[in-house]
Chains A and B, each alone.
Chain A
């Protein structure tokens, strides 16, 4: 723990006087910001890799397929299969 053995002198007396004037609303603001930061970092952690993967597939295509391909014949309705 910090300052467990803080010396007692004119400087520390001034500091103690100021410490008591710490506005409590700072903690509220900060807690909100820490909460937002935590949520944001979790979102990035969860969805970041997937989002990057989707973006890379969108730009470069699926890694297992070599460029655009037509649909397989069995996926097509019978009336679209060439005689």
Chain B
């Protein structure tokens, strides 16, 4: 395809590209959508699965799912939110199957025993300003569900309601889960690096 055509395709919105693809079945429209989101989907899979090979396979499977379900996409959410929700749910299901781990949130595992009423709110800055190499280590030890919630909140900037929709949980459950995930992250950080001041 000539370069000018590619440039034009990149100017279309997601919804326009979907409509054009569904009408014409022209692979170029889908490839444009792929180029727009593949990196982000791959990064999420990599963070969730902690394995490059699995992340590669997952990215491919997720885009096949997106392709097969494209006609079912309704504009109730943005296309990116829809793709990311497929991504998170795919990764969570994969982890469940592979590790035979039916329960994947902190409260499910039962490692957090304190009542949430006694918990102080961990400020967002504790996680957001963490050195990224250290945060990467912390994420490795977090349960996948907690990891997904943190990624949706701090990377995708999703609202609590949207996170709830993606994970099929109520808003209050997500708020609680988010608080627990932050506490858990802080605890893991302290276990790994001591309670030294975070940079």
Could you list which residues of chain A lie within 8 angstroms of chain B, going by C-beta atoms? 1-3, 5-7, 9-23, 26-27, 29-31, 33-35, 37-38, 41-42
Point out the residues of chain A lying under 8 angstroms from B43, CB to CB: 14-19, 22
18 additional A-B residue pairs with CB within 8 Å, beyond A11-B128, A30-B31, A30-B64: A1-B13, A1-B14, A2-B36, A2-B78, A3-B40, A3-B156, A7-B154, A9-B128, A9-B129, A10-B128, A10-B135, A15-B44, A19-B39, A22-B43, A26-B38, A29-B60, A34-B27, A37-B68
Point out the residues of chain A lying under 8 angstroms from B60, CB to CB: 26, 29-30
Chain B binding surface, main DSSP class = helix
CA distance A46 to B42 in the complex (A): 36
Point out the residues of chain A lying under 8 angstroms from B79, CB to CB: 2
Point out the residues of chain B lying under 8 angstroms from A20, CB to CB: 39
Q: Interface size on B (CB < 8 Å)?
A: 46
* Contact between chains at B155 and A6 (CB < 8 Å): yes
Could you list which residues of chain B lie within 8 angstroms of chain A, going by C-beta atoms? 13-14, 25-27, 30-31, 34-40, 42-44, 46-47, 52, 55-56, 59-60, 63-64, 67-68, 78-80, 127-132, 135-136, 139, 150-151, 154-157
* Contact between chains at A30 and B78 (CB < 8 Å): no
A35 partner, pick from B27, B129, B135, B155, beta carbons under 8 A: B27
A27 partner, pick from B38, B139, B154, beta carbons under 8 A: B38
Closest chain A CB from B135 CB (angstroms): 5
* Contact between chains at B67 and A37 (CB < 8 Å): yes
Closest to A16 in B: B43
B31 partner, pick from A5, A14, A19, A27, beta carbons under 8 A: A27
Closest to B136 in A: A14
Closest chain B CB from A39 CB (angstroms): 9
CA distance A38 to B151 in the complex (A): 34
* Contact between chains at B39 and A22 (CB < 8 Å): yes
Point out the residues of chain A lying under 8 angstroms from B44, CB to CB: 15
* Contact between chains at A15 and B27 (CB < 8 Å): no
Point out the residues of chain A lying under 8 angstroms from B64, CB to CB: 30, 33
CA distance A38 to B132 in the complex (A): 42
